[in-house]
Amino acid sequence: AQSVTQLGSHVSVSEGALVLLRCNYSSSVPPYLFWYVQYPNQGLQLLLKYTSAATLVKGINGFEAEFKKSETSFHLTKPSAHMSDAAEYFCAVSDQEAGTALIFGKGTTLSVSS
Amino acid sequence: DTGVSQDPRHKITKRGQNVTFRCDPISEHNRLYWYRQTLGQGPEFLTYFQNEAQLEKSRLLSDRFSAERPKGSFSTLEIQRTEQGDSAMYLCASTLAPLNTEAFFGQGTRLTVV
């Protein structure tokens, strides 16, 4: 069975500060890992994905994440936060079979102050 | 193609009434998923279709819920005898398996049962 744990339901940073959102996964098979962002009353938009190629994955809007198998982690980072980054962020895992259903974490709300 | 489309965006219904939601996936996408998202939680998998065949249903999908994808294109999700606990955002996603590894989400239908 697969699961995702996002540490910290709320993260607050100042504009220009480093963003770090934590995600740990559990999977009995090699996983695909994803980060999605959700703005209020909207669907989910893919930020980036890990599909067993490079362990450091770069996504949209300056975000990146590193797959660390030994730590079963896939933390999301951005060097400098922008006000527009304020949103809900979800980490998700699926089997390494393209198109299988995603298992999501509970999400982390990112607040950015000026 | 404008992406995954869901209709309606919002629905308010009285307890005990039946509701039906529609999802139009991205053209040519063979897999279609339904998820439910309650406040403060990540999306939870409900069911998915490969073309017109419903291949998997979560235990969350009680017998009051039914989903169809009659021609392998759009899908409907019906909830019979709605309960207040059904209040949630219902998200649809689609993908082209095995080519795509990620799912593309619609903006969701927010259901409020009063």
Strands (E), chain A: 3-7, 10-14, 19-26, 31-38, 44-50, 56-58, 64-68, 73-78, 87-95, 103-104, 108-113
Cβ-based burial of A66 (10 A; exposed 0-12, middle 13-18, buried ≥19): middle
Percent pLDDT > 90 in chain B is 80
Asked if the model's pLDDT at residue B23 lies above 80, the reply is: yes
Question: Per the CB < 8 Å rule, is B105 touching A44?
Answer: yes
Question: Which of A80-84, A92-96, B80-84 is predicted with the least confidence, judged by mean pLDDT?
Answer: A92-96
Asked if the model's pLDDT at residue B74 lies above 70, the reply is: yes
- Rounded to the nearest integer, the mean pLDDT of chain A is 92
Query: Count of A–B CB contacts within 8 Å?
Result: 64
Which of B105, B109, B110 best probes binding to A when mutated, by most A CB atoms within 10 angstroms? B105
How far apart are the CA of B41 and the nearest CA of chain A, in angstroms? 5
What is the predicted pLDDT for the residue at A54? 85
State whether residue B103 sits within 8 Å of chain A by CB. yes
b/e per residue B3-20 (b: at least 16 CB within 10 A): ebebeeeebebeeeeebe
How far apart are the CA of A30 and the nearest CA of chain B, in angstroms? 14
What is the predicted pLDDT for the residue at A100? 73
Partners of A49 in beta bridges: A34
State whether residue A3 sits within 8 Å of chain B by CB. no
Question: Per the CB < 8 Å rule, is A43 touching B33?
Answer: no
How far apart are the CA of A95 and the nearest CA of chain B, in angstroms? 10
What is the predicted pLDDT for the residue at B26? 95
Higher pLDDT, B97 or B58: B58
- Residue from the list B41, B101, B105 with its beta carbon closest to the beta carbon of A51: B101
pLDDT digits (tens, 9 = 90+) for A65-86: 999 999 999 999 999 999 999 9
Give ∠ CA A93-A23-A41 in degrees, rounded to 5: 75
For residue A42, the chain B residues in CB contact (below 8 A) are: 107-108
